[in-house]
Amino acid sequence: MPAAPQILPTLSEQAERLIKLGVHEIGGLSAAELRAVAASSDSEHTLLVMHPDRVPASALAPLLERAGKPGFVVVDMPDVDDFSAIESVVLPAGPGYFVQNLDRGDAMVNWSPDEALPAIAAAARTPLTLGEGLHWLLQQPGVLERNHCFMTIGSRLPKANGALDARTPALWISNGTGRDGAEHRNAAKVGWCWAGNRHTWLGFASASMRTRGCQS
């Protein structure tokens, strides 16, 4: 059985966690500036996220830690930073913003991304982007459990003809097999699945809303 839902740290605690990891520096902010963004909201059950234009997924993945190992991006996803928010997902402007009421989406395991997206919208929720999912795991590594992992279908790769690449990003735990390499066994992994495929161990992470963060 999956673990009980965890309560997110306070926004000030989340800011300190990102500062400790150096995420603010990757995004071109001082520690004081990131603390000011965090202090601009007093909402509960809220995740602090730095905008992907500031901090790409490839920079966040190695900061994940599980089983004493850093996270990684699969070798056949060298274009991970080209995945961007889908049309229905509007990211607030500014260096940082807030995502509220996260859910791992366990109720939709064994659904395909193509099936899950309209169901998330019908529930008046929004799918997490890859960057948001990575920020979540930086704050709460325990959200990622073996056989209870999640997709972040708020991010897709646009093609030159206006269509979407069929890959959908996901966060799960490596078995250390194949091209992952034995050294990555049990590490957190950024990978992908086809938009029409189903997996019994992948839910679809979503949130209730996003709000803008402000700097004083």
Distance of CA 112 to the CA centre of its chain: 18
Residues 189, 126, 120, CA angle at the centre, nearest 5°? 95
- Residue-range domain boundaries for the chain: 11-212
Q: Is 216 exposed, middle or buried (0-12, 13-18, 19+ CB in 10 A)?
A: exposed
CB atoms within 10 A of CB 20: 10
Which phi and psi angles does 38 have, rounded to 5°?
-60, -35
Q: Given this model, what pLDDT does residue 6 score?
A: 73
- Sign of the C-alpha dihedral computed for residues 104, 109, 113 and 115 taken in this order: negative
Q: Given this model, what pLDDT does residue 180 score?
A: 93
Answer yes or no: are the C-beta atoms of 96 and 51 closer than 8 Å.
Answer: yes
Strands 155-156 and 84-85: antiparallel
Total residue length of the chain: 216
- The token duo for 63 is 């900061």
In order along its 216 residues, the chain shows pLDDT tens digits of: 566 557 899 999 999 999 999 999 999 999 999 999 999 999 999 999 999 999 999 999 999 999 999 999 999 999 999 999 999 999 999 999 999 999 999 999 999 999 999 999 999 999 999 999 999 999 999 999 999 999 999 999 999 998 999 999 999 999 999 999 999 999 999 999 999 999 999 999 999 999 999 876
Question: In whole angstroms, what is the distance from residue 54 CA to residue 91 CA?
Answer: 13
